[in-house]
């Protein structure tokens, strides 16, 4: 698969249908879904259908039985979307579970992200752990692991993977395992990887840091390797 086919997050722009209604839930409440100017939930809320909103804020827990199309999303707590999630900008602290795919202009999440399909964004900062069911793509991708991270394939312009040492010490004694990024293929322009396990890494400028186990590295310009890493084979292309 080519780098161009992997990098599908570039240039994302989305504006959901505008509405005049405002949905506000304090405590526990339900909605049939619909088109809203703003959605505000403090407590527990359920939407029994698709949600289109300009502003979408949750402090607590929210479940959307359909898809969610948002101009701006803010989550503190837990969000479950049974369909797909699209957002111009999405920030979260806690747990986000999307049964379908996810796409966004800007994504910043501290906690756990799980998607059943691909996650395509322009720029993402992921602090914590994640499990992506398909492709994870971005122009710029910054990952700070303090839980396991997993995606089938990763395509990006620039990616940097780091690991939180303090949180990883705690994870050693839990069933979730060590804080390691796993993918079959990681491809991009500039790759700075640590604590990463991948079958193939392909890029222009590649840095393989400590804790990496890579089957094959293909690079066009530069390759740097840490002593605390293992690379099965390396090939310079072009």
Q: What pLDDT digit, counting tens, does each position of 69-104 carry?
A: 999 999 999 999 999 999 999 999 999 999 999 999
Q: Given this model, what pLDDT does residue 178 score?
A: 77
CA dist., res. 133 & res. 100, Å (int): 9
What SS3 class is residue 5? helix
The mean of the pLDDT values for the chain is: 90
* Helix (H), strand (E) at residue 37: strand 34-47
- Is the Cβ–Cβ distance between 139 and 157 less than 8 Å? yes
**Total domain count, the chain:** 1
CA dist., res. 233 & res. 11, Å (int): 34
Q: Given this model, what pLDDT does residue 218 score?
A: 98
CA dist., res. 72 & res. 106, Å (int): 10
Residue 191 covered by a domain:
yes
> Is the full-model pTM beyond 0.75?
yes
pLDDT greater than 60 at residue 155: yes
Residue 238 covered by a domain:
yes
Beta bridge partners of 77: 60, 94
* 12-21, 30-39, 42-51, 129-138: the lowest-pLDDT one: 12-21
Give residue 184's domain range.
118-238
Q: Given this model, what pLDDT does residue 104 score?
A: 97
Q: Which pLDDT tens digit goes with each residue over 170-213?
A: 554 445 567 899 999 999 999 999 999 999 999 999 999 999 99
DSSP string for 107-151: EEEEEEEEESS-EEEEEEEEEEEEEEEEEEEEEEEEEEEEEEEEE
Q: Given this model, what pLDDT does residue 11 score?
A: 45
For residues 125 and 16, the model is more confident at 125
Residue 236 covered by a domain:
yes
Report percent pLDDT > 70 for the chain: 87
Residue 148 covered by a domain:
yes
Residue 193 covered by a domain:
yes
* Helix (H), strand (E) at residue 6: helix 3-6
| Mean pLDDT for the stretch of residues 100-124 | 97
pLDDT greater than 50 at residue 8: no
CB atoms under 10 Å from CB of 36, counted, come to: 25
Q: Which pLDDT tens digit goes with each residue over 222-233?
A: 999 998 899 999
CA dist., res. 107 & res. 87, Å (int): 9
Residue 230 covered by a domain:
yes
Q: Which residues contact 134 (CB under 8 A, 6 or more apart)?
A: 101, 115, 117, 118, 119, 151, 152, 153
Residue 160 covered by a domain:
yes
| Mean pLDDT for the stretch of residues 120-130 | 96
Residue 33 covered by a domain:
no
pLDDT greater than 60 at residue 149: yes
């Amino acid at each position: 698969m080519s780098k161009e086919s992997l990098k599908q997050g570039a240039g994302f722009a989305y504006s959901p249908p505008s509405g005049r209604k405002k949905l506000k839930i304090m405590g526990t409440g339900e909605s049939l879904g619909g088109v809203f100017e703003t959605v505000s939930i403090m407590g527990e809320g359920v939407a029994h259908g698709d949600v289109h909103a300009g502003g979408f804020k949750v402090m607590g827990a929210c479940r959307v039985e359909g898809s969610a199309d948002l101009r701006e999303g803010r989550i503190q707590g837990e969000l479950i979307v049974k369909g797909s999630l699209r957002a111009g900008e999405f920030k979260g602290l806690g747990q986000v579970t999307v049964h379908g795919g996810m796409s966004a202009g800007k994504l910043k999440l501290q906690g756990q992200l799980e998607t059943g399909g691909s996650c395509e964004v322009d720029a993402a900062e992921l602090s914590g752990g994640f499990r992506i069911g398909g492709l994870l793509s971005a122009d710029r991708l910054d990952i700070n692991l303090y839980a396991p991270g997993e995606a089938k394939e990763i395509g990006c312009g620039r990616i940097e993977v780091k690991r939180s040492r303090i949180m990883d010490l705690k994870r050693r004694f839990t069933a979730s395992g060590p804080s390691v990024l796993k993918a079959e293929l990681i491809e991009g322009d500039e790759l700075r990887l640590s604590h990463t396990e991948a079958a193939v890494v392909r890029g222009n400028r590649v840095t393989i840091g400590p804790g990496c186990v890579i089957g094959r590295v293909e690079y066009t310009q530069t390759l740097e390797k840490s002593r605390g890493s293992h690379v099965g084979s390396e090939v310079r292309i072009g």
